[in-house]
Structure 1
């Protein structure tokens, strides 16, 4: 049986809640840092080089959100670590790719899905994702609950030490993200993706959350699906300097790891598909499994689609296997959210263990409205 992601609860101003986070998750944070440091050593980077690369993101982070910069300093203090180590965890996608001697970058996989209230049996939006990444990260994941005085509370599944990955807030806003790659990537330094996801969860207004995803300069491409319990979901295919939209088809939105916006494909080159060829059918499989159930889709329907093992181990739900870079990867977690109920369920290594752990968030009254 896979180990459930521990729940970490924090409160107070940014630096203080960072300290609480670092103290509670210190062992998992240290494990994650050791893992990525070892991986980067294979690219020819010792700690001094990793530290310099991590610190290069600090000015952009401070401009983007001083509170997040303070929170990361607090995490480092609480865990008894160098501040650069926490920057590494929050900018690991960018840092792994920027390790210039690395020839075979490992992409995050992921298959994200949203079913709008009009096609679910309970008339409530369901937002879910399979997170495909390194097998070792099953032992570094946490669920972070942030009690805030300066905005809605947040519940997010993330790697220990990270500010956010997949999650939702007390205003009913939810986000998941999928790896994308294009020929525009890494031409300039932008805001690390983890911080953009966190920013989207810090607002009560969906428009403000979408603005953060849509307009924030990024170092690399990424796909982010934003939804709100009232019945809105939009997929944002983000290049570093431009964002494209993908909308639900008859209430259903599914995205894997390749660009699908016709406008995007007319303007840039998808350079990631060679490392994630299974992406080309993963979204089709999930969509085809769910489409016939429109009007009666449930949380269990979504889970079943994300458990799909067609073409295993190159499947929607991936058991541990070597990827094209000869590194061991897997579907590390399946995350299913019903924002209107403040419900998050997480199964670790779901291809091996379909046990879900339930986490809850108290929603603000205005968020608890769905579309009939």
Structure 2
């Protein structure tokens, strides 16, 4: 069991931190209990998003969630136990397991109608591996984000930035395996396969990137089109996943992979244009990495630090509002912006670590708290 706490109470920033231990049901019971208020608010927010985005009332959402319930029970029953524990932990008759399944399948239920961004980066350096991203999503979700650790027997320990109620997200484990996520708007959706957030969790329970990829393949791939950027201390690889198959992206000659919100090589699905800034962010991120590598006379590994990446690549506002550091677009009814930045570092022989900045890197000062994982 764990207690939610503020990482830096003297800063006035209230970020919930939960340490979850035990069986799948036990640790998730804590998740639901400790983050009850945030989960209830998330359900309220997503009711509105589903209604406005794809005209689904909650009964329709639960109907689709019931199909995923069957899939999860068949492929990863432990994850269904976690969702049951979260629902029980919330402790109200108004929330049951199908509501929690709906949160975990939220990227799929909307049938490719989401409008989030995100820019992810993997950088293999001489003596370390960097994995990082800005996560862009609805402004209303930002207040509910939490930091979570999960400790279960016979599995690596996990640290994530989570949307409460969702059991897999962006983060890393004690085996130095990390994941980032880019949403892709493409059809079809296949409810016989797992939602992307559960595949993120499966990757984070793996002891290497190659084991994670094998596990994703064993599970049959993703129910929706998404990109997972995965890395361990040996390097990174991009997984452009879809219900019709996946395509893997290798590092360029400089050891870099950048991904935004369109497929680069996977042509197996129907992907209509939706974010005009996606390709601009992609090219801009590569250019900024090149600029950082050439700036000054230090060794490259010394220059590519979490702070330097936040100040250069991830604080970039070129082509705003659809910039790497995203702000709400006044021409669109929904408010989407960068909600957090994470930079993970994996080095052979050292314990993995990450720095998390809540909010937009471009608007944060050096006095704003940077949260360290593990804590």
TM-score range (shorter-chain normalised) is 0.7 to 0.9
C-alpha distance 76-28 of structure 1, shift in aligned 2 (>3 A) = same
TM-score by length of 2: 0.86
C-alpha distance 180-356 of structure 1, shift in aligned 2 (>3 A) = farther
SS of structure 2 residue aligned to 1:327: coil
Give the Cα–Cα distance (whole angstroms) in 1 for the partners of residues 237 and 168 of structure 2.
19
* Pairing partner for 1:89 from 103, 126, 146: 103
Give the Cα–Cα distance (whole angstroms) in 2 for the partners of residues 313 and 2 of structure 1.
28
Unaligned runs of 5+ in 1: 99-104, 363-372
Match of 1:270 in 2: 271
Please report the RMSD computed on the Cα atoms of aligned residues, expressed in angstroms: 2.1
* Pairing partner for 1:206 from 201, 206, 209: 209
Q: Deviations over 1:110-150 (max 9, x none)?
A: 100011122xxxx2211100111111110121111001212
Give the Cα–Cα distance (whole angstroms) in 2 for the partners of residues 5 and 210 of structure 1.
32
Give the Cα–Cα distance (whole angstroms) in 1 for the partners of residues 236 and 205 of structure 2.
17
| Structure 2 residue 231 is the aligned partner of structure 1 residue 246 | no
Match of 1:329 in 2: 336
- Which stretch of the first structure deviates more once superposed, 193-202 or 5-14? 5-14
Task: Spell out the pairing of 1:264-303 with structure 2 (5 A cutoff).
Answer: 264-265=266-267, 267-271=268-272, 274-294=273-293, 295=300, 296-303=303-310
The alpha-carbon deviation at position 270 of structure 1 amounts to: 2.8
C-alpha distance 192-318 of structure 1, shift in aligned 2 (>3 A) = same
Give the Cα–Cα distance (whole angstroms) in 2 for the partners of residues 20 and 116 of structure 1.
37
The alpha-carbon deviation at position 188 of structure 1 amounts to: 4.9
Give the Cα–Cα distance (whole angstroms) in 2 for the partners of residues 135 and 338 of structure 1.
27
SS of structure 2 residue aligned to 1:306: coil
Aligned length: 344
Match of 1:358 in 2: 371
TM-score by length of 1: 0.87
| Structure 2 residue 331 is the aligned partner of structure 1 residue 320 | no
Q: Deviations over 1:137-193 (max 9, x none)?
A: 1012111100121211000112111111111000000000101133x4225542111
C-alpha distance 256-23 of structure 1, shift in aligned 2 (>3 A) = same
SS of structure 1 residue aligned to 2:111: helix
SS of structure 2 residue aligned to 1:68: helix
SS of structure 2 residue aligned to 1:330: strand
Match of 2:296 in 1: none
The alpha-carbon deviation at position 7 of structure 1 amounts to: 1.2
Match of 1:232 in 2: 235
Unaligned runs of 5+ in 2: 1-10, 294-299
Task: Spell out the pairing of 1:36-185 with structure 2 (5 A cutoff).
Answer: 36-42=46-52, 43-80=54-91, 81-97=95-111, 105-118=113-126, 123-182=127-186, 184-185=187-188
Give the Cα–Cα distance (whole angstroms) in 2 for the partners of residues 185 and 223 of structure 1.
15
SS of structure 2 residue aligned to 1:236: strand
Give the Cα–Cα distance (whole angstroms) in 1 for the partners of residues 47 and 269 of structure 2.
32
C-alpha distance 211-107 of structure 1, shift in aligned 2 (>3 A) = farther
Match of 1:344 in 2: 354
Q: Deviations over 1:248-279 (max 9, x none)?
A: 11211111111112xx24x54432xx321100
Say whether the 8 Å CA contact 2:107–2:114 is kept in structure 1: no
Match of 2:297 in 1: none
Give the Cα–Cα distance (whole angstroms) in 2 for the partners of residues 74 and 188 of structure 1.
23
Following superposition, which runs of at least 4 residues in structure 1 exceed 6 angstroms of deviation? none
C-alpha distance 328-40 of structure 1, shift in aligned 2 (>3 A) = same
Say whether the 8 Å CA contact 1:189–1:218 is kept in structure 2: no
Give the Cα–Cα distance (whole angstroms) in 1 for the partners of residues 55 and 228 of structure 2.
31
Match of 2:17 in 1: 7
The alpha-carbon deviation at position 44 of structure 1 amounts to: 4.1
SS of structure 1 residue aligned to 2:313: helix
The alpha-carbon deviation at position 39 of structure 1 amounts to: 2.3
Give the Cα–Cα distance (whole angstroms) in 1 for the partners of residues 107 and 39 of structure 2.
16
Match of 2:318 in 1: 310
SS of structure 2 residue aligned to 1:219: coil
Give the Cα–Cα distance (whole angstroms) in 1 for the partners of residues 55 and 269 of structure 2.
31
